[in-house]
Structure formats: structure tokens, C-alpha cells
Amino acid sequence: MLVGGEAGIGKTALAETLCREAVEQGALTLVGRCYERSETPAYGPWFELFDRYRPVEHEPPVPRAFAQSDATREVGNPDALLAQLRLFLAAVTASQTLVLVLEDLHWADRESVELLRALARDLGSVPALVIATYRADEITVAHPLGELMPAMVREARATRIGLPPLQERDVDVLVRRQFMLPARDRQRLVRYLQARGEGNPFFIGELLHALEEKEVLRGQGNGWVLGDLSDIGIPPLVRQVIRGRLDALGANAQRLLAVGALIGQEVPLALWASITEETEESLFATVERALAFHLLAETSDTTRFRFVHALIREALVEDVPVSQRRLSHRRIGEALTGRVAPDPDDVAYHFRQAGDHRAVEWLLRAGDRAERAYAWWTASERFEAALAILDASDASAAERAWLRIRIWDLNRYSDPGRGIHHLEAAGQLAAEANDPALAACLLRERGKLHIFLGEQRQGLIEVEAGHHALDALPATTLVDPWVARRQRRGRAALATWLAEVGRYADATVFANRVLSTTEDGDAYFALGIIHAGLGRPEEAHIAFDRARELLSGVASPYRRGTVAAERLSNVILPYQADLLLERQAMAREAETIWGHVSMMLAAGSARLAQLPLLVLEGMWDEVDELANQVLEDHRAIRAWRRFLIRDIASVAYARGDAALIRQLINEWLSAGPATEPGDAHYVIAIALQQLAAELAIDAIDLPTAHAWLEAHDRWLTWSGATLGRAEGALGWARYHRAAGDCVAAHRHASSALGYANAPRQPLALLAAHRLLGELNVAAKQYTDAATHLAAALNLADTCAAPYERALTLLAQAELSAAVGDEAEALTLLDEVRGICGILGAAPARARADALAARLAGGLPSPFSSSGSLTHREVEVLRLLAGGSTIRQIAAELFLSARTVERHITTIYRKIGARGRVDATAYAVQHGLTAAARHHS
């Protein structure tokens, strides 16, 4: 195996890791190294390899040629030497595997390489592995290894591995494992390491050591803190490696290379010549030497060259005196501005290094370009750099306030805390300025902040007021392109926000006002939400199609992904849940689009597109993991978390987690049933109202249930919505059933069936048929009950909804029990308990257990005494009591270790256990151990 790569790329680390694992498995490993050419004797790595060999009983001695002392190392005839090695190889591998490692063969003598080639031919017949490492950038065709490598590959079927640089994701893993940093600091450190180290593990390690030594990266409490990375030099050990290569060039070549290093990682020959006042021809001599020493590399464009490594460039730059460095940067910046279409990032960089105020103009241009490309972090960084210069100068308060508003706008999703800081600072600056447009824009942006924080009513008041104030200003006032662009987009966004709180009539007015002047994807997006809420699915599809078409290719992936996600949640699942291919395609579309901006959003955000399907299709453990992952990310602001709430609340109800539902209700409907329409996200609000009523009905708290159902009706009437009416009628039907009024219950259930048919809503239709079937069973109208339950079961299967199937089978089991077919009832209950066991749907499982016990003559279920534990928690407790570790439990139940830890914490809380001993005692007492389960 031939392992190549640049210095520091990890060749030795890879070989050492493999050797360590080989030793653990009983292999014999021997390592020999080469050193600088002047220090490595003939067969040097082979001598070192055998110097480390200490044979034990039944192992062959060192080959005679390599058993000599340092003074007499003459191996003699190469053929005899090879014969000795072959005998040694056969003897050693007769009883064990052998691993030989020859390190740094780029410094090897030809004899050592020839011996390797000859020996490699024999490896196919014995259990041996030879690993040879080398620096690929120092192997030429004339080098012994370069000359013989094709033969080794051909004759010995040697495997060649070229170690590539670490990618940014690899560096991120490395940083995550060593340092507990806040997300933004971790990303800042990863970008710094990747930019400076360019994927070289040695350089990255040295950079980290330097940061720790200078306490730029330091431990604090249980985590780490990252300071300013702008002023960090090259670590001494890295400098030593690079310096050895530079010194061989001579002073004049180093001087010219230093100017090239100031220009950048890639150096245009014409610009380099103009700055150094050399001719391009005269530079070629330096370029050719630098190419030979692997300091420069050619590019596909013959008019420019690039430094092989960023740290080589930095070593050159650090040798330039500061005053000369600043002057050179100014000259480079001015030269770049004279070019056609100069790169704003390049110009801004050089003017910043020169301390030239002209950097502000170019930073703003660079930020504009990044923002247009939806590179929000880059845009924010450019604007913050410009702001730092403006804050240190005599720039006007208005100019700085506008810039802070833009930074807020860029950070509101990725880092809301940072964005809010800039928005608050902009407010303080605006108080100093007399700028009506600034005041109006700031009012609008504050309103957006309230909306993102879940304060919809106050937010919409301020957004509307800000828009009206901006519209009232003369057109000449809004001369800034960004302000004008945000105002146009803001009107469509306002239509969307009005639709999201259920103000469908107002939202329609705003959306149509925008569309009367221009085709706008965001306005069509708002109309899609409006049509869906008002029960017009076909019109909603048309609007969403138009939104997708207009936003494609020009809009932020976040917005385009949201179009697909909202279409899935608001149109396809309510009205077409039985179209499996369509719902899967829409979820994939949203996930794919969001995946392009996942770095800007909360962890796992892209996967949220699948969340409604995961709930419907019964993958509830994944729902839990995904929800926790997103909610634990500091970027998961309320505007983003709305994609979670309905789904995690519905799973919580099915699993009997009333505490979580109450927590969500308190968070989103802080005034309880008295929460006024428009104070919260409409779809979330009515879903939580329905669940709140269900909880109250389950607890036989009918006054509270009545209050929540009245609130639900009030919101429906206020909004004019169609969607939600079937669920509201079902809530009243269950309320009246709990109150003992079967006639009223049947009337409301029939109304729900009517609502669910106009327009057709498969899941609501399913629930209405099932409830009517249950009411018919209670009224002993068994034929009608069978008809309704058969319709419900067909819908559950058509919609691929296992939990809905379980609830319907449970109702059918009750029907079978009522007509005396106990065998059929028990068969149905077996399937119900199987489904509910997988899902952890404890309440439905408890109902099935109770009915099964009654039919079986009172025999208790093995789960009937597990208190408030869900099925999944019972499974975890059983394994925990049996002595399994967290990792073993995770493997057994196909969960992550983190999820198992959360389950154990919940179990301890529910049963009052202080640790594993208490939990085991509880499991034994309640018959939840493996033995007790088998006996039962």
C-alpha cells in the first residue's frame, strides 16, 4: 500500500492508527523511517525497522544482513539480502500477521526502494501488509520511488492512496470533538482553520496550538471561548517547515515572492509586474525557481500562478515591514480599481490592509453582491467591516443606522441575537438623525422582529404603520436601491404575515395590490395560504405553482423551500393526504431546497420538510429526535419553530404527554381560551385549541373544554376559514358524548362529516367516520357502525397512516366485542397493541389492554401496571433493569444514545427513581423485567 500526500496531510497518523489496531488484533508490526537525504544511509529504513524487532519464542531472528552494528552495516549481495528477507517473511507469517511500515520514502535511497519492489512481489502468498508513505509533491519521475512505483503497482498490485486535504465538514468534526463552542464561534474557527490550513491536519493542529497558547481559544467554565482571529501569526513549527524551503531561493526571489504574496493566493502576472516594476519576462526566472521548489503552482490560466499553500504566502507576508506592507496594499488596491469590472472583495481587502477609507465603498459593493447571491453570512461580514470603519470615522448617524438595519435583516434567521443587537443600535442612531425614511423603515423592521418573536399583533401593527409611512414619502426619498427593493418585497411579505394570523380578507387586499403592479412570487405565496385556509385547494395549488415559478432561480432557497413546505402542510395533507406520491414529492422538494441553505438555518432544518409525513406515517421517534435537534439550536427562532409545533403536539397527545402540550399551549396561547384572534399564528392556534379541548374532555373537565371549543369557533368565524371546521365539529361531538348527550354528539359528528366532504379532506373524513362508528356502537346501531368504521379503515390505509389505522381497529374491536365476536375482537386488539407499541401511543394501548383484559376474563396486560410510562419508555426500562448500557439499549431499539438518555431521564422523573437501582426495583415490582414479561 503506497500512501502519498503533502507534508502534514496525515500519512504517519494513518499508518500509526492502522499499526495500533493491528497490534490489538495480534499482528507483529515493524516500522522504519527515512530522514533527510544527507542523513539516511543505504537501506536506512530497513535497518531501523529491524532494530526495533525483538523476537520472542518461536519467532525467527533478525535477518543476518540487518543484525550488524552501526559501524559494520554492509548488507552485501542484494540477491542474498532478498533471500534472507523472504525466509524471514515466511517464518514470521507462519504463525501471525505481519505489518511493515516504511515512512517518508521521498528521502529513501534507491536501494531501499529497489528492495521494497522486489519483496512486494512475494506479498500475495503470505498474510503480510507493507505500507510505504511518501510526500507526493517531492516525488518526480527521476526519483527512485517515482521511477519504480509503476512497476510496484503493476507487479505487486500495490494499492495507491492519495490522501486529500480535509474538507470543511471534516475540520468541523475535529473542532466539535475538541472544543465546546457556540455555533457561530465554531463556524468562525472552522472557516479560519480551513482558510489558513487548507485542509492540512499538521498545519491545522499547529494553528490550534498557537490559538490556545495565545489564549485566543481558551477554556471558560464548561465550554470554550474564541477571541479575535484577525491578528494571529504563523505557528513556529509551521514557520520552520516553510522557512527551509524559502531560504533556498535567495533574497531577491523572496522579495518578489513577498509582493506576489501581498497580492493574493493567486497572482496575476501582469499585476505582479506592475507593482514590482519588473517586466513579465524578468519575473519568469523567479516563477520557475518557485515552481521547482513547490512554492508556486501553475493554474489553468497561464497568465497567473498560485501559492501552493496559504501558510507559505503568509510566511512571506510576515517578513515585509508593516509600513511597506501598507503602501504595497494601497498600490495594489489602486491598480485593481483601474481594471474593467474589478472584484469588490479584492479591492476592499487591499484598501482595508492599507488602512484606506476607500475600503468602505468596496466593502458595501462586496456586501451587495453577496446579498444578491444569498450569501448572507458573507454579506453580513462585509457590512460589519464597513460599519467598523464608519464607527471610527465621522460618518453620519443615518448612514450607520441604515447599515445596521441591513445587518439585522441578514442575520434575522441565522443569528437573531446578533441581528437584534444591530437593530437596537440602529434605533439609537436613528434618534440622532432627522431621516423620515429611516424612521419608517426602522418601525417596519421592529415590527418584523415582533413577528419573529411570536408577538404577531404588535408586530403587524408596526409593520403596517412602517409601510404606510414609507408609501407616504415622496418617491425621491427612497433613492437607495436596497430600501426601494425591501419596500416592494415587504408589501408581499405583509400579505403573507396577515394570512398566517388568519386575516385572510386583509391579506387578499395586500396581495392583490402587489399583483396589480407586478408579478410577485411572494404575493402568490400569500394567496396560496389564503385559498388553502378558505377551502379552495385548486386555487391554492395554482397560486403555489405560480409562486414556485416566479421564485425559482431568483429567490432565496429558504423562501422557495417554504413554498413547498407550506403547500404540503396547508393543501396536500389537509385535502389530498391519500395522494402518497404527491405528498412525498413535495416533502422531498422542500427538503432538497432547504438543504442548500442548511448552514444558515437551525440544525436539521432541511429535514423539517418531512416532519408532517413522519408524523402521519408513524416514524415518531425520528420526530422526537428532529424536534429536539432543532429546538436546541439557538437559531431556531419562533418563526422557524412554527414548522414543528403542530406535529410535536399531535404526537405528544397520542403518546399521553399532556405536560408537553400544556407547555406549548402556554407558550403560543398565553391568554388561554381568551387569546384573541390575530395574537398568534392561526394554524398553530386552532390546532392547539383542538388539543386543549381534547385534554380537558379526557380529564372530564367539561367547562374548560367548552371554553376552548368556543375559542376555536370564535377564531374560525373571525377568519372566515373553512379549514378547521370539521375538526371543530368533531371536538363538540366528543364534548357532548362526554356530557352524556348522545343526540347532540351524533349531530355534531354528522356536521363534521359534511364539512370534511366540502371540500374533501381525507383525514378529517376519516376521523368523522370513526367517531360516528363509535357513537353507533354505543347506540347499538351496529350495521351503521360497521359501515362508518369500514370507510374510516379504508381511508387510514389509503393515507398510509398507522396510528389512524390503530384507532380505527380499536373501534372495530369494540364493535366486535359488542356483537359477541370476542375472537375477532382479540385478533384486532393484537394488531392495535402491536402498532401502538411501536409508536409509543400509550393511551390507545391502554384502551386496547383494558378491552383485551375484559374479554380474556380480567387477565392483566404486562403493560397495564407501568403507570404513566409510554411503551417506548417501558422497553427502555426493561433493558435498563436487565443491565444493558445506554449504547446497547440504543442498538436494541434502533435509537440514538441521546434519545435513550432522554427516555431514561423521563422515566426517572415519572417513577421517582434516583438512579438505575431504584429503576430496576420498580421494574421488578411491576413485572417489567424480561423474565416477568416471558411469564406473563
pLDDT digits (tens, 9 = 90+) for 392-407: 988 899 899 989 998 9
Q: Specify whether the CB–CB gap between 466 and 451 falls below 8 A.
A: no
**Per residue, what are the HEC states of 78-104?**
HHHHHHHHHHHHHHHCCCCCEEEEEEC
Contact 586, 572 (CB under 8 A): yes
Of all residues in the chain, the percent with pLDDT exceeding 70 is 89
What CA–CA distance (Å, rounded) separates 509 from 512?
5
Give the mean pLDDT of 497-524.
Answer: 93
Looking at the predicted structure, is the pLDDT value of residue 604 above 70?
Answer: no
Is the distance from CB of 100 to CB of 69 less than 8 angstroms? no
pTM exceeds 0.95 for this model: no
Q: What is the pLDDT of residue 480?
A: 66
Distance CA 92, CA 513 (A): 86
| pLDDT of the residue at 824 | 93
Beta bridge partners of 128: 98
For residue 862, which of 876, 843, 875 has the smallest C-alpha distance?
A: 875
What's the mean pLDDT when you consider all of the chain?
A: 85
The C-alpha atoms of residue 574 and residue 617 are separated, in whole angstroms, by 15
Q: What confidence score (pLDDT) does residue 77 get?
A: 60
Contacts of 823 (CB under 8 A, 6+ apart): none
Percent of the chain with pLDDT over 90: 41
What Å distances lie between residue 881 and 254, 293, 625, 868, CA to CA? 70, 65, 24, 18
- Decide if 661 contacts 698 (C-beta within 8 A): no
Q: Quote the pLDDT of residue 121.
A: 76
Instruction: Name the pLDDT band for 476 (thresholds 50, 70, 90).
Output: low
521's grid cell = 412570487
Amino acid identity of residue 838, one-letter, is: I
Residue 199 to residue 190: CA distance in whole angstroms: 10
- For the beta carbon of residue 338, count every other beta carbon within 10 angstroms: 8
| Rounded-to-integer distance, Cα 933 and Cα 865, Å | 12
| Mean pLDDT to the nearest integer, 801-825 | 95
What is the Rg, in whole angstroms, of the alpha carbon atoms belonging to the chain?
Answer: 36
Q: What is the residue whose three cell numbers read 385549541?
A: 689
Report the pLDDT averaged over residues 372-393.
Answer: 85
Higher per-residue pLDDT: 526 or 232: 526
Task: Return the bridge partners of 28, or none.
Answer: 98
CA atoms within 13 A on the CB side of 927: 13
Average pLDDT over residues 365-369: 88
**Kind of pairing between the strands at 223-226 and 217-220:** antiparallel
Between 45 and 131, name the one with better pLDDT.
131
Nearest to 523 by CA among 490, 556, 484: 490
Joined together, the cell numbers standing for residue 14 give 494513518
Q: Tell me: the pLDDT tens digits for 196-240?
A: 888 888 888 878 888 888 888 998 888 899 988 876 776 776 777
Q: Please check whether residue 900 is in contact with residue 886, taking contact to mean a CB–CB distance below 8 angstroms.
A: yes
Sheet with 128-135, side-by-side order of all strands: 28-33, 98-103, 128-135, 2-5, 160-162
C-alpha–C-alpha distance, residues 275 and 325, integer Å: 12
Among 25-29, 66-70, 466-470, the range scoring the smallest mean pLDDT is 66-70
Residue 162: strand pairing partners: 4
pLDDT for position 311: 74
Q: Which residue has the higher pLDDT, 909 or 501?
A: 501
How crowded is residue 122: how many other Cβ atoms within 10 Å of its Cβ? Answer: 15
Question: Which helix (H) or strand (E) is 29 found in, with range?
Answer: strand 28-33
CA-to-CA separations, 410 to 415, 419, 429, 827, in angstroms, rounded = 9, 7, 19, 58
Q: Kindly report the backbone phi and psi dihedral angles of residue 301, in degrees, each rounded to the nearest multiple of 5, phi listed first.
A: -95, 115
How far, in Å, CA of 342 to CA of 350, rounded? 12
The pLDDT score that the predictor gives to residue 932 is 39
Q: Which helix (H) or strand (E) holds 927?
A: none
Give burial (CB, 10 Å; 0-12/13-18/19+) of 706.
Answer: middle
Q: Which three cell numbers stand for residue 563?
A: 413554498
Alpha carbon separation from 827 to 779, 817, 820, 858, 928 (Å, rounded): 24, 11, 14, 17, 24
Strand partners, 304: 268
Summarised one tens digit per residue, pLDDT across range 842-872 is 999 999 998 998 888 643 433 334 446 777 7
pLDDT exceeds 80 at position 454: no
Element at 224 (helix H, strand E): strand 223-226
Per the CB < 8 A criterion, the answer to whether 397 and 430 are in contact is: yes
| Residue 602 clears pLDDT 60, i.e. is over it | no
